Structure 1
Amino acid sequence: MVNTGTQLTLEEFLALPEGDVNYEFVDGQAVPKVSPKYFHSTLQAALLLLIRSWCKGKGRVGSEWAILLKRQGKDWAPVPDLTYISYERLPKSWKRNEACPAFPELVIEIISPDQTMKEFEEKAKDYLEAGVSRVWVVDPEGISIRVFFPDGSSQVYRDTTSIVDALLPGLELTTRQVFEEADLL
């Protein structure tokens, strides 16, 4: 069990044993992630399948994989629901059982019932300022995907409008496709 009130260094956080609860490293503390429910879990699985089939030979996608970043000048190790990083940024030869050491092209977060879009707007801003190129926030209740860009803008996708991004060449998904793959429509 992690005492979440204890100040830790990044090295101490990364040395914590794996357990049933996932933690993020924020402001020197191990902060527990929200326990996922069914919508969250099935959307995460659907996105993992869809993105993994697209990224073969291009990069890797992982779920619940910590990323080593800086937030407001401090070490930060968030654990997005999904992370995509190209082999250009993290070579295919990299095979280590540790946190992601490079800036991903994409992180995806899925809103749980007790979380708000406002919380994720702030987190998306932190991700982008830390060097992540794109942030997708999936809203199970709103049946939407909101894409955040480094310039501070964002776009909401619903139904059959394709999410296409030059940063992710060849990837074309719709919100409907994701929610149907998750068996939620």
Structure 2
Amino acid sequence: MVAVGKPVAEALPTTLKTVDEFEQWERQYGGEGSYEFVRGRIIEKNEMKQAEFLILKFLTRLFTQTSAYAQGDELAAEMDSYIDDTRKRRPDLAYYTLAQIEATRTGERQKTRFAIEILSDSESYQDVLDKVQDYFDAGVQLVWYVIPENQKIYVYNSPDASQGYKGTDVISAAPVVPDMQFVVADLFA
């Protein structure tokens, strides 16, 4: 699904420096695509594949059973997460509290506290590292990188340390959503 794809090539401005400039360009010329903006680079995100949709369905339905969901928080697909004035990412799934969601009414830009990415064929190892670093630069507490081909999930609690989970391992979204946990094999069943 959504991973860092190739930078958009057709007639792109090369002078964009900020997220504000990028969003102005996107409103005028962005078209139908989905984009991230990272320090002057416009990155087109790939469309979701059906196999990835099953992963998103499993995770979002699991989230609806948590106390965070009961209090109005959301696990949203493809929602903007602002890193700083020069970076905006779009995680495959991003967690936002009710207070964050309500703050968007006034135009306040939000940063996710928990990002879930699904590795795509076009992503390099460097792309993964860059995304993880960006999320932690924004103050995220937890990043999951789902690797469908290997039926594994890498959990990052910092940009420099990850732990892999597979098979009968139990994964948890603590400390952000402590009651969201499951056996990894169930995600890929």
What's the TM-score, normalizing by structure 1?
0.79
Amino acid of the structure 2 residue aligned with 1:56: Y
| 2:48 paired with 1:39 | no
More helix by share: 2
| CA distance, structure 2, for counterparts of residue 96 and residue 113 of structure 1 | 36
Q: How does 1:114-129 map to 2 (within 5 A)?
A: 114-129=122-137
Gap regions ≥5 residues in structure 1: 181-185
Say yes or no: does 1:57 pair with 2:70. Answer: yes
* Percent identical: 26
Which structure shows the higher strand fraction?
A: 2
Q: Please state whether the residue corresponding to 1:170 is helix, strand or coil.
A: strand
The C-alpha deviation readout for 1:136-177, integer Å capped at 9, x for no partner, is 000010101111012622111112211122332211122222
Structure 1: distance between partners of 2:143 and 2:36: 17
Runs of 5+ unmatched residues, structure 2: 1-7
8 Å CA contact retained: 1:157, 1:174: no
* Equivalent residue letter for 1:83: A
What residue is the counterpart of 1:67 in the other structure?
Answer: 81
- Residues of 2 paired with 1:65 and 1:22: CA distance? 10
The structure, 1 or 2, with the larger RCO (C-alpha pairs under 8 Å, 6+ apart) is: 2
**Are the counterparts in 1 of residues 166 and 184 from structure 2 also a CA contact under 8 Å?**
yes
Q: Report if aligned partners of 1:44, 1:110 keep a CA contact under 8 Å in 2.
A: no
From 69, 72, 79, the counterpart of 2:90: 79
Number of equivalences: 174
Structure 2 match to 1:150: 158
* Paired AA for residue 152 in structure 2: S
Task: Report how far residue 6 of structure 1 moved.
Answer: 3.0
Following the alignment from structure 1 to structure 2, what is the Cα–Cα distance between the partners of residues 125 and 95?
Answer: 24
Q: Which runs of 4+ in 1 moved over 4 A?
A: none
Aligned-partner Cα distance in 2 for 1:3–1:96:
33
Distance 2:50 2:102 in 1: 35
2:170 & 2:23 partners in 1: Cα distance? 37
Q: Which moved more, 1:75-84 or 1:142-151?
A: 142-151
Q: Give, as a single letter, the amino acid of the residue that structure 1 aligns with 2:86.
A: D
